[in-house]
Structure 1
Amino acid sequence: MQEAVRIKRATYHLYTFTASKLISTFGSSVYAFGISLYVLALTGSAASFAINLICSILPRSLLAPFAGYAADKYSKKAIVILSQLASMLAVAGLLVFGLTNGLSLTAIYTTTALLSVSSMFTGVTFSSSIANLIDPDRIQRAMGFNQSAISIAAIGGPVVGGILFGFVSINVFLGIQVAAYAIAVLLESTMNFRLFTAHAENAADEMKKTMLTEMKEGFSYLKSNRVIMVIVTTAIGINFFFSSLMIGLPFIAVQQLQVEATHFGMIEAMIAVGMLAASIYFSVSKEVKFPLLFAKRGILGMSLLLAGMGVPLVIVMSYGVTVVYFLMLMLVFGITNVFVNTPIGVMMQKDVEEEYRGRVFGILESMVMAMMPLGYLLFGLLYDLVPAEYIVGTSSLCLIALTSYLMRPSVLKEAHPELQEALPNQPEPL
């Protein structure tokens, strides 16, 4: 295929991928918010809400490595389309069940688990396909657009979900979700997932290997690549320690500082606003030259922001100042979050070999998701036993120590050999 034609096709992919991601992610956000409200309205039980959350997280952490294996082994386009169709059919099945029998908790939990699995297959496969869809010079822009779609969904999903839940029946709500998945499937069916590829799918020698063997090869590749292993390990640590923020933010702001629910909603929304602003920046800026060093500085900044959550518990502030402080803190947190994720995402797209990319992203998804319930449980217990300012301060120090060790100068130089040449007379980066 002529290079000019491929670039033109890649431009089409850039915007089609973004539109598809926006529609499906927005739909998922609306569904998650609306169905959570429905479960609470139906049962009035926090435990029922928690079970629905577990049904969303647990299947992803268990099955993500298999999704990565499938993405490396079979047609990525087929997996994306089939998994999106599975999501559409799962919601359609819940809709039909509700019309004929009335919705039940068992049906909702089952649908949530099925959606978790199907959306995870879509997400892992898409993550491992960006370098196949987009030319190398515009991968950062694609990652920026992708993050923008996620941020818009995070901002608008709960708003739209709340409006729909208040004004339409649950059946209409589910029907809208089915339509969103159908549109996403139509868009994805027009994309060429092998536009930029050097790896022959379903090669004869690969077909002879068992699934277990190939999954072991994925782990072996990950362990043999020191830089990628550092990225995965750091990501696990970040998700674990930032569970203290996800649990601590409502506990500190609402429970201890008596921030009103309306203002707290604005505080949480500022994370997505910051992420959107940073995503737009990356979609138009030049590619980061030293992504691992850039990400390290971002993580250290996020660690300080985590400790900053405890400041209003130590320094007395007026109500207005407290709200403004948390608004700015979460805005900057959202910005630094993208400043970490986007450069690292671009680096992984380019540095992970194509035939292992799906398995690496699958392992990353599995380990990161597994840390979330563990972190939620541990920090949920700690906040009842230990002063909150000590928890966020200790979590911040632990994350700083972990990042400084994992992303030490020798690892940075291995990831960016040109770094030493670019800074010949300066000390090694921290």
Structure 2
Amino acid sequence: MSEEQKLKRATYHLWTFTISKLLSTFGASVFAFGAGLFVLEMTGSAANFAITMVCSILPRMLLAPIAGYIADNYPKKPIIIIAQIGSVLAVSTLLAYSLIFDITVLSIYVVTAVLSITSLFSGVTFSSSIATLVGPDRIQKAMSFNQSSIAIATIGGPAVGGMLYGWTTMTVFLLFQIVGYAIAVILESTMNFRLYSKREQNVQSEQKKESVIEGIKSGISYLKTQKIISLIVWVSLWINFFFAALNVGMPYVLREQLFMKSTHFGYVEAILSVGMLLGSLYFAARAEVKYPLQFSKRGVLVLIALLALFPIPSVIELPYYGNFVYYLALMFSFGVTLMLINTPIGVVMQKEIEEEYKGRVFGLLETMAQAMMPLGAIIFGLLFDVVAAEWVIWGACLFLIAIVLYLMRPSIIVQAHPELDKKESLKHEAKTAV
């Protein structure tokens, strides 16, 4: 295949990847919201609603390393298509069950868990395929479009899920899901997941495959040898952990302390995704960041500064609508800043991780991130009960600053971008000459 044909194919992949990712992510968001409403309506129990979240999170946490191993050791296209077909079959089975019998809370739990597993396998495999689908020069654009899809699903999923659940029957609601997943399958079947692959065509069949345990262990060993990738993973995990203070603190501060109306609170939550969307579109339009790790470090420090500003209205009294506008602006800024971190970091990971290890690295990262979030939520939830909210959040900021300044110290940044050292040397020589 000529280079010109490859470029055309890569452009096609960029758009089909974005559309299929949007459909599957949007469908999962719509289903999760509708399923939650159904469980609440059926049982009136917050505990039963929480079980739906467990059914979504727990399978991802446990199976992510296995999904990564499979993505690295088997052809990616069949994995993604089988996973998406699994999503179609799961929702179709629930539809048939609802037509023959009365739909039950247990059936919702089962389908939620199955969709969590299928989306995990397709998501990890897609993440490990971006570079081979679009080539090295379009990774930032692909990562930006991927983040745009997530933001749109986060904004629109609950809205569409609520409308469908409220205005239509459960049959129509489930049919909507089936059609979305089916279109995603059709699009993904036209994609060439080996377009820019550097691995031998039959390497997986020619070499003796490691067992699952051996494969996961070799993925961990590989991660330990990659200093920059390990750094990114650890910084990401600490951010996930400490930003649980925001996830727990936002409803506590806004609803319990500032008595913000539920409608306004919903707007504040939604505008985070609007900021993410605009931030991702910015990266889709601009040239690739020259020093992504340094750029992301600055983004993390800005994010910590925004977190430190979060409890200000609980310390300095503002009028009701002053609080509302303040948090709209703050959460919008959070969304934009998250993209200033996630997109360059994603580009680094796509370029630096060797192709044969990408699935396992992304799988391990998924497991560790899923474990850190509930752990952080539990710890900060307990802290908010015994310590003033502002001190909990400011304490989290101080710990996070110390961790980031140590892990992303200048010597490490220079290791990732050696040209920065040369640049500083030239500046020093120029000053000396003057």
TM-score, with length taken from structure 1: 0.97
> Which amino acid letter does the alignment assign opposite residue 224 of structure 1?
T
- For the residue of structure 2 that corresponds to 1:424, the secondary structure is helix
Could you say which residue in structure 2 is the equivalent of 1:278?
279
Alignment of 1:181-220 (within 5 A): 181-200=181-200, 202-204=203-205, 206-220=207-221
Q: Which runs of 4+ in 1 moved over 3 A?
A: 201-206
Q: How much does 1:73 deviate?
A: 0.2
Partner of 1:256: 257
The RMSD of aligned alpha carbons is: 1.2
CA distance in 2, matches of 1:314, 1:425: 47
1:208/1:337 CA distance change after superposition, 3 Å: closer
Distance in structure 2 (CA, Å) of the matches to 1:204 and 1:59: 29
**Does the CA contact (< 8 Å) of 2:18 and 2:145 recur in 1?**
yes
Letter in 1 for 2:361: V
Which residue number in structure 2 is paired with residue 229 of structure 1?
A: 230
Moved more, 371-380 or 225-234: 371-380
Partner of 2:417: 416
The aligned counterpart of 1:298 is 299
Conserved 8 A contact 1:69-1:358: yes
- Find the counterpart in structure 1 of residue 32 from structure 2: 32
User: Whole-Å Cα distance in 1 between the matches of residues 127 and 403 of structure 2?
Assistant: 26
Secondary structure of the residue aligned to 1:383 is: helix
Q: How far apart are the structure 1 equivalents of 2:158 and 2:204?
A: 45
Question: 1:171 aligns to what?
Answer: 171
| Contact 1:34–1:161 (8 Å) recurs in 2 | yes
Q: Pairwise mapping of residues 341-352 of structure 1 onto structure 2 (< 5 A)?
A: 341-352=342-353
Cα distance change, pair 311–134 in 1 and its aligned pair in 2 (3 A) = same
User: Are the aligned partners of 1:144 and 1:283 in contact in 2 as well (CA < 8 Å)?
Assistant: yes
Letter in 1 for 2:365: L
1:199 counterpart letter in structure 2: R
Q: Which residue of 1 aligns with 2:267?
A: 266
Percent identical residues: 54
Which amino acid in 1 is paired with 2:264?
Answer: H
Aligned amino acid, residue 35 of structure 1: A
Q: Distance in 2 between matches of 1:70 and 1:64?
A: 10
**Whole-angstrom CA distance in 2 between matches of 1:138 and 1:208:** 31
Q: Which position in structure 1 is the counterpart of 2:431? A: none
Q: Is the 8 A contact 1:87 1:118 kept in 2?
A: yes
CA offset at residue 425 of structure 1?
5.9
Q: How does 1:19-418 map to 2 (within 5 A)?
A: 19-200=19-200, 202-204=203-205, 206-418=207-419
Return closer, same or farther for 1:73/1:162 CA change in 2, 3 Å cut-off: same
For 2:144 and 2:375, the matched residues in 1 are separated by: 30
Which segment drifts farther, 113-122 or 206-215?
Answer: 206-215
Q: SS in structure 2 opposite 1:203?
A: helix
1:202, CA displacement in angstroms?
4.2
**Deviations 1:121-149, CA, capped at 9 Å, x for gaps:** 11100000000100211110111111111
Q: How far apart, in 2, do the equivalents of 1:383 and 1:181 lie?
A: 41
- Going from structure 1 to structure 2, the CA distance change for 1:387 and 1:426 (only over 3 Å counts) comes to farther
3-state SS in 2 of match to 1:317:
coil
CA deviation digits over 1:186-206, x for unaligned, max 9? 000000000001112543553
Deviations 1:308-344 (A, max 9, x none): 1111111111111111100000000000111100000
Please say if residues 73 and 202 of structure 1, whose CA atoms lie closer than 8 Å, have aligned partners that are also in contact: no
Residue equivalent to 2:9 = 9
For residues 416 and 205 of structure 1, what CA distance do their matches in structure 2 show? 37
Cα distance between partner residues in 2 of 1:125 and 1:203: 16
AA aligned to 1:131 is A
Contact 2:97-2:103 within 8 A present in 1 as well: yes
Contact 1:92 1:174 in 2 (8 A): yes
State the alpha-carbon separation in 1 of the partners of residues 384 and 39 from structure 2.
26
- Which deviates further from its counterpart, 203-212 or 407-416? 203-212
**Counterparts of 2:180 and 2:129, CA distance in 1:** 22
Could you tell me which amino acid in structure 2 is paired with residue 260 of structure 1? K
CA distance in 1, matches of 2:203, 2:264: 53
Contact 2:26 2:157 in 1 (8 A): yes
Q: Which amino acid aligns with 1:281?
A: Y
SS in 1 for 2:192: coil
Q: Note if contact 1:74-1:202 (Cα within 8 Å) is conserved in structure 2.
A: no
Q: Deviations over 1:358-409 (max 9, x none)?
A: 1111111110111111112222222222111111111111111111111111
Q: Distance in 2 between matches of 1:33 and 1:210?
A: 38
Contact 1:84–1:122 (Cα < 8 Å) also in 2: yes
CA distance, structure 2, for counterparts of residue 262 and residue 208 of structure 1 = 54
Deviation at 1:424, TM superposition (A): 2.3
Q: Write the distance in 2 (CA, Å) between the matches of 1:208 and 1:161.
A: 43
Count of residue pairs brought into register by the alignment? 427
Shift of residue 426, structure 1, vs aligned partner: 6.3
* Secondary structure, aligned partner of 2:415: helix
**Separation in structure 2 between the aligned mates of residue 239 and residue 311 of structure 1, nearest angstrom:** 22
Structure 2 CA distance, aligned partners of 1:272 and 1:208?
A: 41
Distance in 2 between residues matched to 1:314 and 1:290, nearest whole Å: 38
Structure 2 CA distance for aligned equivalents of residues 343 and 283 of structure 1: 11
Unaligned segments of structure 2, at least 5 residues: 429-434
Instruction: Compute the displacement of 1:14 (Å).
Output: 0.5
Give the conservation status (yes or no) of the 8 Å contact 2:131–2:196: yes
Structure 2: distance between partners of 1:290 and 1:172: 48
Q: Could you tell me how far apart the structure 1 residues matched to 2:414 and 2:259 are?
A: 47
In structure 1, what residue type is equivalent to 2:345?
Answer: I
Q: 1: CA distance between counterparts of 2:107 and 2:298?
A: 45
